[in-house]
Amino acid sequence: MKKVSVSFTLNGDPVTADVPVTWTLLKTLREYFELTGAKEGCGVGECGACTVLVDGKAVNSCLYPIPEVEGRSVTTIEGIAEKDGTLHPIQKAFLENNGVQCGFCTSGMIMSAKALLDQNPDPSEEDIRKSIAGNFCRCTGYVQIVESIQMAAKLKE
């Protein structure tokens, strides 16, 4: 299989991946960098479990071709806590507000929430629901997730 060498910033550090040209960003994160926080749910852009940030925007990494990552900045769930392990306010809010049940959707939800709160620190409930419209959760009924993001907005103030 033809390989490609892709250089980009991953959670603040410069990295290079030498991977098959057909790989996605999700496959590269999970299998080359062993960052397994982003999950593969559907693999076709419908569930949001694979959401990461590319240049600050939430993307479905299962659809993102790795060659298109060249020169960009990627942030995953592994990159949002402080270096000393202090959780990001969105992570704290999800834990405190029972926004996590089985956890499969959680990293994608948190990354979508981060993309929203980085752009809009005081979102309405409608803004929050729109921001996670592409993230499916089969456990929580979404109420605790929306409340977690509302709490995170307050914690970030």
Question: Where on the chain is the footprint of ligand FES (CB under 6 A)?
Answer: 40-43, 45-50, 60, 62, 100-106, 137-140
Residues paired with residue 19 on neighbouring β-strands, in sequence order: 4
Shortest distance, CB of residue 47 to ligand FES, whole angstroms? Answer: 3
Shortest distance, CB of residue 24 to ligand FES, whole angstroms? Answer: 9
Shortest distance, CB of residue 2 to ligand FES, whole angstroms? Answer: 24
Q: In whole angstroms, what separates CA 24 from the centre of its chain?
A: 15
Shortest distance, CB of residue 1 to ligand FES, whole angstroms? Answer: 22
Judged by CB, which is closer to ligand FES: 102, or 155? 102
Judged by CB, which is closer to ligand FES: 2, or 44? 44
Judged by CB, which is closer to ligand FES: 3, or 143? 143
Judged by CB, which is closer to ligand FES: 62, or 146? 62
